Amino acid sequence: MVSITFLGTGGGRFATIYQTRSTGGMLIEDRGRIHLDPGPGALTNMARLNMDPGFTDAVLISHCHPDHYSDAEVLIEGMTRGGINTRGLLAGSVSTIDGIDGIRPAISDYHRQLPSRVLSMRAGDEADIAGMRTRFTPTRHTDASGVGAVFETSAGTVSYMGDTAPREEVTASHEGCRVLILNVTRPFGARLRCHLCSEDVPAIVERLRPELTVLTHMGVKMVEQGPEEQALRLERMTGSRIVAARDMMRLDIGDSLRVNAPTLL
């Protein structure tokens, strides 16, 4: 059984500033535990769910925007038991790990030396991340070095497209996914450049035909419009199963896919 816990389902500047939804990223648990994109609220929500950051095996940061990395340094301290045990993996885009084009690295020199391994990932790279074969995928976003990821879990392929504009080559890099996680920042009729909006979802879902699509990384307008209604409309358009994630929701992936209601809010 693989599980994905959504420690936050908000994204974009204002949903992050005002915490319209939390922005703590997600935990993917299979043979090990990956914390993907630990933005503001990651540690607070782990505490609320009684989940120990010390059991984190890998911290993965898709790009150098604070809704994806701001809690990462403290999380790395948790993963390494206060910086005492050298263990775990830190992986991220070139901007996050090394800095690029005037973007400083998101992680300090001190915190980069705490994990056992640090990987700076480009689209097309592959790595073993907490026991999961992981392939990094391209994005088209304001951080040009941003990546998405395809995880080969023991329950099939889980795809995370990351923050991106809709592009053919981005969609094509996620062929064969069983579960597709999309950062859909805006609802129908409120396009925002460099991000996915509800309008973009049908073409992606019809091309990839995943068993389940999960919408997350919602901006203020998306939350105001009602993400569940957006998901329902998209389900009717595509005939495919589409769920709007909620903070603290857990998805269990086994022979079947089970969406568990938030345990705390």
Residues that bind Zn ion (CB under 5 A): 11, 65, 67, 163
In residues, how long is the chain?
Answer: 265
- How far out from the chain centre does Cα 6 lie? 9
Taking CB atoms within 8 Å and a gap of at least 24, the contacts of 229-236 are 230/184, 230/187, 230/188, 230/198, 233/188, 233/198, 234/198, 234/201, 234/202, 234/205
Helix (H) or strand (E) holding 109: helix 109-112
263 secondary structure, DSSP code: S
CB-based burial label for 188 (10 Å; 0-12, 13-18, 19+): middle
Beta strand 156-160 with 179-186 is parallel
Whether the CB-CB separation of 112 and 97 falls below 8 Å is answered with: yes
Close Cβ partners of 46 (under 8 Å, ≥ 6 residues apart): 7, 24, 52, 53
Distance between CA atoms of residues 45 and 42, nearest Å: 5
